[in-house]
Amino acid sequence: MLAPDEIVDRFLIVEILGAGGIAEVYKARHRVLGSLHALKVVTAGGSSVARRLLREGSIQAQLRHPNVVAVTDVIEVHGHTALVLEYVEGVTLPGLLAQKGLLPLAEAL
């Protein structure tokens, strides 16, 4: 849906991070501040899914915890709802499992 170097609102798309059944997630750089963010863009499901994403974002934006990614804004991307999230550098769970295999219980917890 979005391509690297595409400008969306205040953000420059850097790369796609992942895609699922109803949304795609992109790494994006704020064009003024230079900070990195993740954009979660609804790609399927119509208005009911968009409402669910907004509800998710509203709840998540109120949480402050080191293990919960912060939601900082909501924007529209080509007519689709998108959450602006804190970008967290790191490996995905599938990537970690590919590197290490099964994790010890303490690490998994």
pLDDT at 45 over 80: no
| The pair of three-digit structure tokens given for residue 74, joined into one six-digit string | 């909501």
Q: What is the pTM of this model?
A: 0.84
**Type and span of the H or E element at 58:** helix 46-62
Amino acid at 45: G
Residue with token string 């109803």: 22
Q: Strand pairing partners for 42?
A: 23
Band of the pLDDT at 49, cuts 50, 70, 90? Answer: confident
pLDDT given for residue 107 in this prediction: 87
Between residues 108 and 31, which one has the greater pLDDT? 31
Asked if 36 and 87 touch (Cβ cutoff 8 Å), the reply is: yes
> Residue 14 carries which DSSP code?
E
pLDDT given for residue 34 in this prediction: 97
pLDDT given for residue 77 in this prediction: 93
pLDDT at 24 over 90: yes
Please give the average per-residue pLDDT across 1-25, as a whole number: 94
